[in-house]
């Protein structure tokens, strides 16, 4: 289990223990965190699991694979700290990761 902190657009914070191997998106969906839609179910085809990663965390994450940046073009209000949470697999290295959720996904 790894602690992941999800902060809703309103500022409401959810600190969850997510099983290693799941994605940050799945952690949110399984715990009914509002603000992550994940319409396509994690196949990097919809950009509705978009999150902003806290700056201090952003460079510690595995780099984006081909295609993720393309999908982020379609996300709602992306910025340079944007990631798709379906592409972030939870490991011990992510202990304490903080992600902020956009005001909406589309």
The residue count for binding another protein (CB under 8 A) is: 18
Q: Which of 17, 65, 70, 93 binds another protein (CB under 8 A)?
A: 70
Long-range contacts of 58-63 (CB under 8 A, 24+ apart): 58/83, 60/93, 61/88, 61/94, 61/97, 62/88, 62/89
Q: What CA–CA distance (Å, rounded) separates 33 from 16?
A: 10
Contact window for another protein (CB under 8 A) among 2-10, 35-43, 55-63, 92-100: 35-43
Would you give the DSSP letter of residue 20? B
On whether the CB atoms of residues 85 and 42 are closer than 8 A, the answer is no
Least distance from another protein to the Cβ atom of residue 31, Å: 13
Contact window for another protein (CB under 8 A) among 3-11, 14-22, 33-41, 51-59: 33-41
Binding status of residue 22 toward another protein by CB under 8 A: no
Binding status of residue 45 toward another protein by CB under 8 A: yes
Phi, psi (degrees; rounded to nearest 5) at 97: -55, 135
Interface residues toward another protein, by CB under 8 A: 37, 39-41, 43, 45-46, 48, 69-70, 73-74, 76-80, 106
């Amino acid at each position: 289990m790894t602690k992941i902190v999800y902060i809703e657009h309103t500022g409401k914070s959810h600190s969850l223990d997510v099983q290693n191997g799941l994605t940050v998106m799945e952690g949110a969906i399984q715990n009914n965190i509002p603000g992550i839609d994940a319409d396509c179910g994690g196949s990097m085809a919809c950009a509705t699991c978009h999150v902003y990663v806290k700056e201090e965390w952003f460079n510690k994450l595995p780099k984006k694979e081909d295609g993720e940046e393309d999908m982020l073009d379609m996300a709602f209000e992306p910025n340079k700290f944007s990631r798709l949470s379906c592409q972030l697999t939870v490991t011990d290295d992510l202990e304490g990761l903080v992600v902020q959720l956009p005001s909406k996904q589309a």
